[in-house]
Structure 1
């Protein structure tokens, strides 16, 4: 006779949990369009609106700002109302944002559409989805979180090809309208599939220590959250140096734009592999140790960029960098579930995800500023390494304070 747990398909790690994960990955891949479309159409937007490169880059900055803030705001909605309302709102925001951007007659309106509507809409398909899926897994939580977070990278692999194909037969405005329609007609039905609430055991509410994760640091939830926010900011300041500036770096070295673009694709593809490997690893050794391994490897890869600047060497180092950094960000969601209250997972995961996105934005700007001041990217790499050391120090501090939590009856 089967036990109640094995007979019930809706328990943690059960068949429904894996089906729900597949839907979450699909949603994340579709909704992730908001992060990549504006990058692909940037030259066409610049020519259409008659602005300089800085002005044409502003919509991307606004998108990332909306994406960052949305991870926290919509994460709070997930804690209260579940994942379905935020994802349906995301579909509506994306459809409205792409439509408004498509009919914009100036870059200001286009930027507002990107930041307020598309940025917020994209956010629901990252941190909030990751937080939701974490409730449905226990034994394989690390792998599940990593898979859900990989949708963001899969979007970077699939959407640019679709956009380039569509631009061959239409302009960027029609492409935006098509993407808006795709988001609306696919995401709403997919969101409704996720209406089932997590098992009550996954939320573990109550006055005992079981209201929190399985690990404790002796720090207050607020103090630990603050440390994770600083860690998320610092690791992504370091991460942004190659991701944001590798194309410009290749141009400076005389290799041109194409190799730099290929290196970004290589980083993204290896990032998916890294996230899956890190997910399996997190299930075995925990989120802190997994993140620390990724952070150490990322730091080593950043060091390798300094002496090795041949074309073949840069491809190899970019491959190593992608394999090292991809699993870092999803590990924060695992850490939140290990150390902090389950019922607050949405807002707490969203807050850390927001810090990582802001770290990418800050790091990209800092690297450019350092380059302008020094005329070289060598100092910018060293700046990234310094921020990486800060991340590692915080992770080591939390690791050595960690201990199993004892339930209070």
Structure 2
């Protein structure tokens, strides 16, 4: 009788997250990961190897995302110099294609990571990325930039970015959000350092050598990161007699979007948050020049944006793991984003001080949104399928990235202040959708009760 009462009580204390093959029960906390994976397999960073993997992932992200977070500076330079006869919407396709491949091709690199680990994919990505950047340094036409930077460099970035993040899930469970956030700070640091270097080198050595020097810097961080990171795919992967190619093809599957409601909601929110993040990062520089501010001030806006994204990846991730829960923190950070648009940029964007305040606020929140999205996916996906889960999520994100900058270019093609104001309204709507979706995800995961989830 007592045992029956205990079992009944336990049933009331649990909620069920809808899904298909990876449906699991979750408790009041964000401990769904404990239901999906055996917690005894994870040290959560309290040993030398785990910390070396985290440090290697951090260094790798400097090289992998450094150019991604410098997109605004590169686009502004190309519009004013090499491609000055091309429209902003046309030039925008270069960076849209790059982001599509950098994030979208994790759909391929993710399953490969699940099957063979991180070493081979990252090595392949480093080589391809360096070839693409060297080719980019010689480009003169838009189509050349799209082929060399957009496709080749973007493909290489996908095979570095995905495995550097996914390998952390082999070592961290309860501190997974903090680990992923710490790794993402590398991308923020790259986005601070590279624009400052580019700003100095463009005038001294020209575009070609600036890109080559940037490639050399990225190569150093990527290589050191590759040496340090390790994975445990042999412990987590499902053993099969099929060839690796067939296993990879079979694991690229969108059925999870149809059958796993919570995963689909998180990915939908990531799509709109990604639109707001990418367009803002790329356009804020040209927006400031349209308001009459100097090129130096526009460069500094990008630097401030990326500077504040660094604590934005660490502080909320720490709160998510230790105090508030990942879904609660995700909702709070999305609220900060919508406040930054509606209270600061939309009404006061014509003031330089307000732009710097906005860059700081949204840099902080957007950096956290992207890293927390990855940790949310990792919370509801088994570790053995983490590459596939993150790959699918970032592929959906990349679809938005493919059209994001051309859409922004079409809205601002007139180059007037009114057109840029319309773009800010569009970005505010994207951030608003991101907030609503984050609240829905929190409801699906934890219900209406005020608790740590």
1 CA distance for matches of 2:126 and 2:85? 30
| Structure 2 stretches lacking a partner, 5+ long | 1-39, 240-256, 448-453
**Alpha-carbon offset, residue 294 of structure 1:** 1.0
Matched, 1:377 2:415: no
Q: Would you say the 8 A contact 1:63–1:119 is kept in 2?
A: yes
Aligned runs of 1:2-401 on 2, under 5 Å? Answer: 11-15=43-47, 16-35=49-68, 40=73, 43=77, 47=81, 52-54=86-88, 56-104=91-139, 106-167=141-202, 170-180=205-215, 183-184=218-219, 187-188=222-223, 190-197=225-232, 200=235, 203=236, 222-284=260-322, 285-304=324-343, 305-309=345-349, 310-371=351-412, 375-401=418-444
Quote how far apart the aligned CAs of 1:258 are: 3.1
Q: Cα–Cα, structure 1 residues 247 and 160, in superposed 2: closer, same or farther, change >3 Å?
A: closer
Aligned to 2:5: none
Cα distance in 2 for partners of 1:184, 1:256 equals 32
| Aligned equivalents of 1:299, 1:63: Cα separation in 2 | 27
Tell me the distance in 2 between the aligned counterparts of 1:102 and 1:388.
35
Contact 1:146 1:327 in 2 (8 A): yes
Instruction: Indicate if the aligned counterparts of 2:69 and 2:281 stay in contact, CA closer than 8 A.
Output: no
* Distance in 1 of aligned mates of 2:50 and 2:178: 12
Is the 1:35–1:122 contact (alpha carbons within 8 Å) kept by the matching residues of 2?
no
1:311-349 deviation per Cα after TM superposition (whole angstroms, max 9, x unaligned): 222222322222222200111111112112221111211
Whether 1:402 aligns to 2:445 is: yes
Greater CA drift, 37-46 or 227-236: 37-46
- The whole-number CA distance in structure 1 between the counterparts of 2:217 and 2:288 is 35
For residue 105 of structure 2, give the secondary structure of its aligned residue in structure 1.
helix
Distance 1:320 1:128, change over 3 A: same
Task: Check conservation: 1:59, 1:111, Cα contact below 8 A.
Answer: yes
Count, aligned residues: 383
* Structure 1 position 51, deviation (Å): 5.0
Q: Distance in 2 between matches of 1:372 and 1:173?
A: 27
Distance 1:161 1:364 in 2: 23
SS class of match (1:125): helix
- In structure 1, stretches of 5+ residues that fail to align are 1-7, 207-218, 405-409
> Aligned partners of 1:307, 1:391: CA distance in 2, in Å?
21
User: Following the alignment from structure 1 to structure 2, what is the Cα–Cα distance between the partners of residues 245 and 116?
Assistant: 21
Could you say what secondary structure the match of 1:158 adopts?
helix
2: distance between equivalents of 1:387 and 1:38? 20
CA change 1:44–1:379 in 2 (3 A) is closer
Post-superposition Cα deviations, 1:59-107, rounded to whole Å, max 9, x if no partner, equal 3233222212222221121111111111101111012212333455754
Deviation of 1:290 after TM superposition, in Å, equals 1.7
The alpha carbon displacement at 1:161 in A equals 3.2
Query: Structure 1 residues 42-51 or 100-109, which shifts more?
Result: 42-51
The answer (yes or no) to whether the contact 2:68–2:99 under 8 Å persists in 1 is yes
* Stretch deviating more after TM superposition (283-292 or 375-384): 375-384
Q: State the Cα RMSD in Å.
A: 3.3
| 2:73–2:299 contact (8 Å) kept in structure 1 | no
Cα drift, residue 165 of structure 1 = 4.7
Bigger relative CO (Cα 8 Å, ≥ 6 apart): 2
Shift of 1:233: 0.9
Task: Name the counterpart of 2:246.
Answer: none
C-alpha distance in 2 between matches for 1:182 and 1:330: 24
Q: Deviations over 1:236-257 (max 9, x none)?
A: 2233453233233323333343
Judging changes above 3 Å, is the alpha-carbon distance between structure 1 residues 189 and 365 closer, same or farther for their aligned structure 2 residues? closer
**Does structure 1 retain, via aligned residues, the 8 Å contact 2:115–2:233?**
no
Question: What's the counterpart of residue 3 of structure 1?
Answer: none
Bigger mean CA deviation after superposition, 101-110 or 14-23: 101-110
